[in-house]
Amino acid sequence: MKIAIINGPNLNLLGKREPEVYGKISFEQYFETLKTAFPNVELTYFQSNVEGVLIDKLQELGFSYDGIIFNGGAYTHYSYAIRDAIAAIKTPVVEVHISNVYAREEFRHKSISGGNAVGVITGLGMKGYDLAVRFFLER
Ligand code: DQA
């Protein structure tokens, strides 16, 4: 089972960025615990701050991976190009948000990319990534 985690803009700063919202650990640290928790899953992690690079990665992995866990950061709320990329690929995508987007500013209440995801997890912290892996395993 091959599962990729793709994180979008500013998520390279997890641990440093607004820790009261996103927590105190970096994604690299969290990724280590995730790999330990799922030794039989081939987990890949990729992050970019650039919309087109995220689309290139979705296209590259989206015809061979079993699942993609995608956090598009702020692109979530306005990127039709990412939404189209999720529709174009074969691999199912679970969208994850660390914070509860519905408890925050109004512009975060709408997910453009989420419309083409199989589901969306929001507000459960880093645990959302773990739950998304479990979803793919049990599917
Ligand atoms: C986020 C929520 C987005 O609104 C925000 O722009 C992010 C992170 C989250 O994981 O909670 O960058 O996707």
Atom of ligand 1 nearest to the CA of 9: 12
Establish whether residue 93 lines the binding site of ligand 1, counting it when its CB lies within 6 angstroms of any ligand atom.
Answer: no
Q: What pLDDT, in 10s, does the model give residues 47-93? A: 999 999 999 999 999 999 999 999 999 999 999 999 999 999 999 99
Residue 40 pLDDT? 96
Residue 19 CA, chain-centre distance (Å), reads 18
Closest ligand 1 atom to residue 96 Cα is 10
**Location of structure tokens 């690299």:** 28
% of the chain residues with pLDDT over 70: 100
Asked whether this complex has an ipTM greater than 0.90, the answer is yes
77 labelled as ligand-binding? Answer: yes
DSSP string for 78-126: T-HHHHHHHHHSSS-EEEEESS-GGGS-GGGS--SGGGGSSEEEESSTT
* Residue among 78, 21, 66 at smallest CA distance from 41: 66
Residue 17 CA to residue 20 CA, distance in Å, equals 9
**Residues 71-103: b if buried by 16+ CB within 10 A, e if exposed:** bbbebbbbbeebbebbeebebbbbbbbbbebee
* Interatomic CA distance for residues 114 and 138, integer angstroms: 21
Domains of the chain with CATH codes: 2-138 (3.40.50.9100)
Q: In this prediction, what percent of the chain has a pLDDT beyond 90?
A: 99
Distance 98 CA to ligand 1 centre (A): 7
